[in-house]
Amino acid sequence: MAFFTVGTMTPESLAFLKSLLDTPGPSSFETAPARAWRKEAEAFADEVRVDVGGNSYAILNPAGRPRVMLAGHIDEIGVMVTHIDDEGFISFDTIGGWDHQVFVGQRVRLLGRGGPIAGVVGKKAIHIMDKEDREKVSKVEELWIDIGAISRAEAEGQLRIGDPGVLATSVLEFPNGRLVSRSIDNRIGAFVVLEAVRMLAGTGGPAAAVSAVATTREEIAATGGGARTSAVALEPDVAIVVDVTHATDYPGVEKRRHGDYRLAGGPVLSRGASVSEVVFELLAATAEAEAIPYSIEAASRDTHTDAEAIFNAHRGVATALVSVPNRYMHSPNEMVALEDLDRTARLLAAFARRLTPDTDFAPR
């Protein structure tokens, strides 16, 4: 039985999603959310495993053909401890791309050797700033984290250089099916690909071998991260990457430049760059057959997603990118519509069901 109902989400599915979003897992430190993802997959997948790079796999019908890879990265942006001074104050750097102004006044959760450590980001109070300092944009190197320690020794008893952390926020449910959280980019991609496999398992399974993969290190993946290594391991015939794209339905966004993508508008299908036009057309035809609304996004040079690491892996993979509109990306309060998660999972499942061993992905 599918876990979603049309346009809504069951309480069990929503609880799993919220737990996944709340579990800290910055790039290179994704173990905790990946473990939760695999535990959920064990209820319906034929095979569940993890590889040396931390990528997690949930596979249906492993002997089937063609081989389908559904990839969503499970890491998130975060922070890392870089120095502890004599008074116990902690210097930090970013993991992934941040607007440094977001850090001012935030609470953080550092992942220490004995468990999570609460901290706050410190900055000189406005009352004692010089005038020119008040007008400057905050930079991470001018900020620090205060965990309440009074000495280096006390702080080092809880933390080491290289310990990661995240901003200390939790999931909020808003009206109209909106969900707000950090880590939406892109833990919801890992969630959606797993839900697609759950749907397929509940309908007797596909002819294809379908592997949902929760990939690692996408936010720092200059060399391909976990997407490349998992694609090499699976050798898929076709891959669909699920990520987020910028919703442009809020004030001040120039749609001529950034496109028109709205919450609850359905999945966004990319064209160009690393995307196979054959797979794009199959996805569009599937969406239309299933009455799933969708938008199209142009990618003339680069998708800035795991698709770049997959389409040219081993001998090449017919790859597509399906994105969920996301407001306020790379902030502690990203926002998506639950309806878009439902539609994206249904699209992936329907796409996989349409494939046969004779499906040809070569452009002819």
199 and 321 share one domain: yes
In this prediction, what percent of the chain has a pLDDT beyond 90?
A: 89
CATH number of the domain at 146, please: 2.40.30.40
85 and 31 share one domain: no
* Domain with 244 in it: 4-76+182-354
* pLDDT given at position 97: 95
* pLDDT given at position 1: 32
148 and 204 share one domain: no
133 and 276 share one domain: no
* pLDDT given at position 141: 94
Q: Which among 184, 216, 195, 189 is positioned nearest to 352, based on CA atoms?
A: 195
What tokens appear for 221 in the block?
Answer: 């993946």
- In the residue annotation, 218 being an active-site residue is answered as yes
360 domain-assigned: no
What tokens appear for 292 in the block?
Answer: 């799933």
Active-site choice (30, 76, 195, 218): 218
Q: What are phi and psi of 36, to 5 degrees?
A: -65, -40
250 and 317 share one domain: yes
Cα separation, 224 vs 271, in Å, equals 20
63 vs 9, residue with greater confidence: 63
CATH number of the domain at 201, please: 3.40.630.10
* pLDDT given at position 8: 56
20 and 59 share one domain: yes
157 and 257 share one domain: no
203 and 278 share one domain: yes
In this prediction, what percent of the chain has a pLDDT beyond 70?
A: 97
51 and 89 share one domain: no
The least confident of 124-128, 172-176, 317-321 is 124-128
177 domain-assigned: no
Beta-carbon count within 10 A of 67 CB:
19
| Torsion over CA: 294, 298, 304, 308 (sign) | positive
Give CA 129 to chain center in angstroms: 38
Domain-ending residue, one of 137, 167, 197: 167
pLDDT tens sequence across 326-335: 999 999 999 9
Domain-ending residue, one of 142, 167, 192: 167
Number of domains the chain is built from: 2
pLDDT tens sequence across 63-116: 999 999 999 999 999 999 999 999 999 999 999 999 999 999 999 999 999 999
pLDDT averaged over every residue in the chain: 94
173 domain-assigned: no
pLDDT tens sequence across 247-291: 999 999 999 999 999 999 999 999 999 999 999 999 999 999 999
228 and 244 share one domain: yes
* pLDDT given at position 11: 86
364 domain-assigned: no
Domain-ending residue, one of 140, 167, 194: 167
90 and 206 share one domain: no
pLDDT tens sequence across 174-193: 999 999 999 999 999 999 99
Mean pLDDT of 37-43: 97
82 and 136 share one domain: yes
